[in-house]
Amino acid sequence: MNRLLICRLLGLIALLIGGSMALSLPWALPLFGQTKHFEAASFFALLGSMATCGLVGGALMYVGRRGKGQTLYRREAIAVVGLSWLLATLLGALPFWLSETCIRIDDEGNRVRMGIADGIFESASGFSGTGATVLTNLEASADPDVPSLVPRAILFWRSQTHFLGGLGIMVLFVAILGMGSAGKALLLTEMPGPSQESAHARTQRAAATFAMIFVLLTAVLTLLLRLQGVSWFDALCHAFGTIATGGFSTHNDSVEHFHSVGVEMTITVFMILACTNFTLLYYLLLRRPGKLLGDLEFRVYLAVMAAVALMVILALRFDGHYDDQGHWTRYSLADSVRYGLFQVASIMTNTGFGTDDFDRWNSFSRGLLVLLMFVGGCAGSTSCSIKVIRHILFFKILWLELEQVFHPSVVRPLRLGDKPLEDPDIRKDVVMYFGVIVLIFVIGWMALIALEPDSTWIEAGQPAGDKLIDCASAVAATLNGVGPGLGIVGEAQNYAHFHWPGKFVLTWMMLLGRLEVFVLLVLFVPRFWRGR
């Protein structure tokens, strides 16, 4: 294991993160933000965070100075990717700790500052594109005597972590700085999962192309939102959250704040695009739409979303939901389409934005949304979760195994469309990944139930009897990068009520889901660090 080379690359990552914090500084100035003391405090908090990143990056670069120019093998590439996400989570939490950001106001009217567990949770949620939050009040108070809880610059940094993590820190690193032949190894570990365009998606040029598409989508969405009356600040933050499928908003009621069907439908379209394989979007830019429309995974992706959206719309129209007064009622057809389509797209793409509190919907609709958390978007996109391509392959493998029961002498190749998949390990890889995800979900669920006391639900004003379902949805929402779940972590709630052990468990769920499990777990295998 070439530890010097690993240190050098981690140092570059630390410098990249520190330098990116400069983009959040202008929002703390009077020209862009408010002039309150806590806004000024956020300015110096960001400066202090940048200085810390510089010191850490400089120290790592110095330690690894002899690693420059050395070959980066697969083992080192895996270590760099896994450790870079852990490093980014810790460094990204610095602005939350050093500023006067608060998670809530207690019963005595005191502002409760973010703790270590809160900052790490928020940072991991941002970089992983989960969008789960511990912040209870994001908006500035209209009363000048009432201090706001989250500085404007910190809100921007919070959304900016989506931008950095959306395409992957290492993909950005390869695309911007270039790593020569090492770029393949880094990109391979950063974008795991089966892909139909593996030859195209493993080069430095592909990384630069994906970064370009990512930035282009972000810029176009920002402009479209601005043209619909959304402020530049809100437009940028929501574009970051949409294209990175993160879901951090600058308002307590998320996208519902804008009360605009146009804004909602615009974000819906871009959520769908962000979860499409970027290779196919690249072909679309080259005026070759046949590649996109002919792709099996993309067609299944749209078909699943349309089918579930239709079922949810019908359930909302003919079954109903609880209104603000707790009365059972039904949406109009227009509202059923509006809320159902947006929320299904938001959950399936793992974005987590909301225009309505789906936790008050009927049980059938809520159940469908929880199942969608385990589907996700296409491979080669910013989506987390299992991804559509694995579901396609899993059901094909299941069908072939069923056929083997009554035709044991028949041997059929696994096909994707009209093409046979020649990799002999792909069956094992797909089935094993499903098994590992189920195992991690169960372990995380039981750990959260054991570590989180029943008093958490009482303090949050929620029925303690919902603990099993709420913990399951919290683990599903964080492991699959969705954000909001059911009950205590529903669309209108957040994760602030959990104690630090529970937040620690959910933080690991977010990181494991973003890195597709193995890249992070292998760091804890002693043999991984020994030998070449």
pLDDT in tens, 470-523: 999 999 999 999 999 999 999 888 999 999 999 999 999 999 998 888 888 989
| pLDDT > 70 in the chain, percent | 89
pLDDT tens for each residue of 115-166: 899 999 999 999 999 999 999 888 765 445 555 688 889 999 999 999 999 8
CA distance 279 to 48: 39
Which position has the higher pLDDT, 263 or 285? Answer: 263
Cβ pair 375, 304 in contact under 8 A:
yes
Does residue 203 have a pLDDT over 60? no
CA distance 518 to 532: 19
The first and second tokens of residue 306, run together, are 């349309």
Does residue 452 have a pLDDT over 70? yes
pLDDT tens for each residue of 89-100: 999 999 999 987
The first and second tokens of residue 279, run together, are 């290779």
Give me the count of residues in the chain.
Answer: 532
The pTM of the full predicted model, rounded to 2 decimals, is 0.91
3-state secondary structure 489-521: HCCCCCCCCCCHHHHHHHHHHHHHHHCCCHHHH
The first and second tokens of residue 430, run together, are 């797909």
Q: Where are the domains of the chain?
A: 3-212
pLDDT tens for each residue of 395-435: 999 998 888 888 887 778 888 877 887 777 888 889 999 99
